[in-house]
Chains A and B, each alone.
Chain A
């Protein structure tokens, strides 16, 4: 269970505080795969960053006893000057994974990068980068995976592979998915959170949330 206790988040701007989320009370059950819906700037990525523990609510608390992945976005924290392999090694180290050889080989194979795996990450195209960062997160066993729009970039073959990988992960863990691709959300999720006007609404049915989202 991930529990939001009266969570507010604002960003200080020139025009005073800009609230993205305001007084949110929310429970995300462990056995649900959650789609996050909302217009641009509604706070989808902020919510994911709060869940990932890399950003903090201005007020309130988020409680959870699960291993939550880092928020998996296109601009994930890879150092451009390091090679793909070196970045994987770094992430293994900070997660306390000792068997980094097998993780490296998994990422190399899953991401289909081949020789580029040994080149600096800054030389990757955006498609390659999305494949790479997706592969890296799949190499670790989390309870909850946070996925932010990352599957919209890769080629169609890889998209299918991603969806298969996610379906496999869903057997033992759950996912929280941000996407503007409604069909993907319908296939992979069985609950939804709709973000609008600084509020968050939990829906048991994805269809209903999508209907509400399209009426906004």
Chain B
């Protein structure tokens, strides 16, 4: 055994969990790891066909399949799955915590990285498919899209982490978080841009930080779309607050959470 620095231990552990999760998540399925990409790919394709086929040209600033592609990919691929995986990290970490190097935080990190990576890969594959079908899925401002997406990713990871820590006190929280995804889909401007929503509802809907992320990504993706409500300052502040809350609750309670 050689002594390693704390940083190199953490790097080794996060990488090890990363690989282990990749291998084990679908290892019991016939097609194995293909499902890592296939599952989000199938779901995205289904939604694009389902919602994109009708309402041609209804959005004004882009074609329906591209609109659904940009919003569903960001919502399901980035927000929902990162949040759910991080919230479920405690259950997935059971066997891992028999080793002193492995901490619950490493599981959060590995899972968040997996979801972020899958988002990029799946997004790229579907974009290529859309190009093949004759659409133009590329963002007008790729750096802006990546930037807003990483803020949303951070928000999802810290919210999931917070849910996981609170869920250790009352398991009901896990159920609530699981139920949250569906209604959030309807109030986060995923299926429609905010310009479609009557002005008197803006005040209520804009409390939701995910809506801001969706609108900001949309703005960066389509240069001819300007969101009436998007506010990066609000999104960033909520993300920072969520992250600070998650990190401090982790620091305060991780020993008790692990001991269960």
Closest to A91 in B: B99
Stretch at the interface among A50-58, A149-157, A160-168: A50-58
Instruction: Select B12's contact among A67, A96, A140, beta carbons within 8 Å.
Output: A96
Across-interface contacts of A96 in B (CB, < 8 A): 2, 4, 8-9, 12
The 8 tightest CB contacts between A and B, nearest first, are A77-B98, A53-B100, A93-B16, A77-B95, A67-B1, A94-B16, A94-B101, A81-B24
Across-interface contacts of B20 in A (CB, < 8 A): 79, 82, 86, 90
Scan residues 23-52 of chain A and give those whose CB is less than 8 A from a CB of chain B: 52
B187 to chain A, nearest CB (A): 37
Q: For the complex, is A76 an interface residue (Cβ under 8 Å from B)?
A: yes
A52 to B97, CA, bound (A): 11
Across-interface contacts of B23 in A (CB, < 8 A): 82, 86
Decide: B102 and A93 in contact? CB cutoff 8 A.
no
Q: For the complex, is B253 an interface residue (Cβ under 8 Å from A)?
A: no
Mark contacts of A82-99 with chain B using CB atoms, 8 A cut-off: 1 yes-contact digit, 0 otherwise: 100010011101111000
Q: For the complex, is B251 an interface residue (Cβ under 8 Å from A)?
A: no
Which B residues contact A (CB, under 8 angstroms)? 1-2, 4, 8-9, 12-13, 15-16, 19-20, 23-24, 27-28, 95-102, 255, 258-259
Main secondary structure on chain B at its contact with chain A? helix
A82 to chain B, nearest CB (A): 6
B71 to chain A, nearest CB (A): 34
B176 to chain A, nearest CB (A): 24
A67 to B101, CA, bound (A): 12
Decide: A90 and B27 in contact? CB cutoff 8 A.
no
* Candidate in A56, A76, A94, A120 with the most chain B CB atoms within 10 angstroms: A94
Across-interface contacts of A71 in B (CB, < 8 A): 98
A108 to chain B, nearest CB (A): 18
Decide: B13 and A94 in contact? CB cutoff 8 A.
yes
Instruction: Select B255's contact among A56, A68, A143, beta carbons within 8 Å.
Output: A56
Across-interface contacts of B16 in A (CB, < 8 A): 90, 93-94
Q: For the complex, is A19 an interface residue (Cβ under 8 Å from B)?
A: no
Closest to A72 in B: B98
- A54-B100, A55-B259, A70-B99 known; A82-B24 Cβ under 8 A: yes
Q: For the complex, is A109 an interface residue (Cβ under 8 Å from B)?
A: no
Closest to B93 in A: A77
Instruction: Select B95's contact among A67, A78, A86, A120, beta carbons within 8 Å.
Output: A78
- A52-B100, A77-B98 known; A141-B19 Cβ under 8 A: no
Q: For the complex, is A142 an interface residue (Cβ under 8 Å from B)?
A: yes
A53 to B99, CA, bound (A): 8
Decide: A82 and B97 in contact? CB cutoff 8 A.
no
Scan residues 149-193 of chain A and give those whose CB is less than 8 A from a CB of chain B: none
Closest to B12 in A: A96
Instruction: Select B99's contact among A67, A89, A94, beta carbons within 8 Å.
Output: A94
Decide: A81 and B99 in contact? CB cutoff 8 A.
no
Across-interface contacts of A76 in B (CB, < 8 A): 98
**Given A93-B15, A95-B101: 16 more A-B contacts, CB < 8 Å:** A52-B100, A54-B100, A56-B259, A68-B100, A77-B97, A81-B24, A81-B27, A81-B28, A82-B20, A86-B20, A93-B19, A94-B99, A94-B101, A96-B8, A120-B27, A141-B1
Decide: B24 and A77 in contact? CB cutoff 8 A.
no
Across-interface contacts of B98 in A (CB, < 8 A): 54, 70-71, 76-77
Across-interface contacts of A55 in B (CB, < 8 A): 258-259
Decide: A94 and B95 in contact? CB cutoff 8 A.
no
Instruction: Select A54's contact among B1, B9, B24, B99, beta carbons within 8 Å.
Output: B99
A56 to B16, CA, bound (A): 24
A60 to chain B, nearest CB (A): 14
Decide: B12 and A93 in contact? CB cutoff 8 A.
yes
A142 to B101, CA, bound (A): 14
Q: What are 9 residue pairs bridging A and B, where the CB atoms are less than 8 Å apart in the complex?
A: A70-B100, A77-B95, A79-B24, A82-B23, A82-B24, A82-B27, A90-B20, A93-B16, A120-B27
Decide: A142 and B1 in contact? CB cutoff 8 A.
yes
Decide: B12 and A94 in contact? CB cutoff 8 A.
yes
A150 to chain B, nearest CB (A): 13
